[in-house]
């Protein structure tokens, strides 16, 4: 079975004015679709990998029996597919506030404002393309803020993703141009979870 774009359960304009409809449409139908297509191409030679959940491929990325060039492609495009699938889900405007998560964030980072400041600083400082994630460290069970380059997914290093911010320019350039901090500030307004 081929990998496929997950359905987007809301309109492209649903996150206006924080994320504009055109950016959403291009991000979902062009960028995410390209990760899906290139992931399918990367596993074409390996019938045993096809149909395995993408999170399994990523968690096992170092051990997959594939050519190095295909490993890199699975890492990049599989990561892109996985990360974006979560991104759309966390941004669903019908999401409710996760009170347990809010409590845990407050006990870990001091307050929601302190957390947003730390997360935003981390995302703003990320050089080039990548993601800033709130993750759970499987060994300590603690929440952590962590930047990842390119499309590297938290699960590749055993970290459980809670939610992440795409800071590739394609995620904001149409509306915000070089104003990444403004995009980050408005992204919080679109995120209903905390
Ligand atoms: Mn993106």
Straight-line distance from the first to the last Cα atom of the chain, in angstroms, rounded to the nearest whole number: 36
Q: How far is ligand 1, taken at its centre, from the CA of residue 28, in Å?
A: 8
CA dihedral 90, 74, 28, 159 (to 10 degrees): 10
Tokens encoding 192? 């209903």
Considering the domain architecture, whether residues 34 and 61 belong to the same structural domain is answered as yes
Q: How far is ligand 1, taken at its centre, from the CA of residue 152, in Å?
A: 12
Domain limits at 77? Answer: 20-90
Per-residue model confidence (pLDDT) at position 1: 80
Beta carbons within 8 Å of 183's beta carbon, 6+ residues apart: 167, 171, 172, 175, 176
CATH number for the domain harbouring residue 186: 3.55.40.20
Q: How far is ligand 1, taken at its centre, from the CA of residue 167, in Å?
A: 7
Mind listing the pLDDT tens digit for each residue in 62-83? 999 999 999 999 999 999 999 9
Residue with tokens 């795409």: 166
Tokens encoding 31? 């960028």
Q: How far is ligand 1, taken at its centre, from the CA of residue 7, in Å?
A: 16
> pTM of the prediction?
0.96
Considering the domain architecture, whether residues 112 and 179 belong to the same structural domain is answered as yes
Q: Is the peptide bond before 17 cis (omega within 30 degrees of 0)?
A: yes
Q: How far is ligand 1, taken at its centre, from the CA of residue 91, in Å?
A: 13
Considering the domain architecture, whether residues 68 and 133 belong to the same structural domain is answered as no
Is the four-CA dihedral 140, 81, 71, 50 of positive or negative sign? positive
Q: How far is ligand 1, taken at its centre, from the CA of residue 27, in Å?
A: 6
The answer on pLDDT for 51 being more than 90 is no
């Amino acid at each position: 079975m081929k990998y496929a774009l997950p359905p987007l359960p809301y309109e492209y304009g649903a996150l206006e004015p924080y994320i504009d409809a055109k950016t959403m449409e291009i991000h979902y139908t062009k960028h995410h679709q390209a990760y899906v297509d290139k992931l399918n191409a990367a596993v074409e030679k390996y019938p045993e990998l096809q149909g395995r959940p993408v999170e399994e491929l990523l968690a096992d990325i170092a051990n997959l029996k594939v050519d190095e060039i295909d490993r890199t492609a699975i890492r990049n495009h599989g990561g892109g597919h996985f990360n974006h699938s979560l991104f759309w889900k966390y941004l669903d405007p019908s999401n409710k506030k996760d009170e347990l998560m809010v409590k845990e964030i407050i006990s870990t980072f001091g307050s929601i404002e302190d957390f947003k400041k730390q997360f935003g600083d981390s995302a703003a400082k990320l050089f080039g393309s990548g993601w800033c994630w709130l993750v759970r460290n499987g060994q300590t069970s603690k929440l952590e803020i962590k930047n990842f380059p390119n499309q590297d997914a938290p699960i590749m290093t055993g970290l459980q993703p809670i939610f992440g911010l795409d800071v590739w320019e394609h995620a904001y350039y149409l509306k915000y141009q070089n104003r990444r901090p403004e995009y980050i500030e408005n992204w919080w307004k679109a995120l209903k979870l905390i």
